[in-house]
Copies of this chain bind each other. A is one copy, B any other.
Amino acid sequence: MNHLFTVTGMTCGHCEKAVTAAIVRLDPKATVVIERSANKVQVQSEQSHASLAQVIVEEGYAVVN
């Protein structure tokens, strides 16, 4: 299932890696595509939208929608 998040606070490549790692810890089978300049995080995962949003927030970023 495809999940699209608007995530603020990702300022550099390290942040992209941190978000990706947090998602993959939750779901090792997830694929993550980040377009940082647009604050977009696209996730292919069978995990729930809420669970995915939660790990992004726990990593220190804001999920806007």
Q: Which A residues fall within an 8 A CB radius of B?
A: 11-12, 14-15, 17-18
- CA A12 to CA B14, docked complex, whole Å: 9
Counting from the closest, the 5 A-B pairs by CB-CB distance are A14-B14, A11-B11, A11-B12, A12-B12, A12-B15
What residues of chain B lie closer than 8 Å to A12, measured between beta carbons?
A: 11-12, 14-15
What residues of chain B lie closer than 8 Å to A11, measured between beta carbons?
A: 11-12
- CA A14 to CA B61, docked complex, whole Å: 13
Residue of B nearest to A18 (CB): B14
What residues of chain B lie closer than 8 Å to A15, measured between beta carbons?
A: 12, 14
Can you list 9 residue pairs at the A/B interface with Cβ under 8 Å? Answer: A11-B11, A11-B12, A12-B12, A12-B14, A12-B15, A14-B14, A14-B15, A14-B17, A14-B18
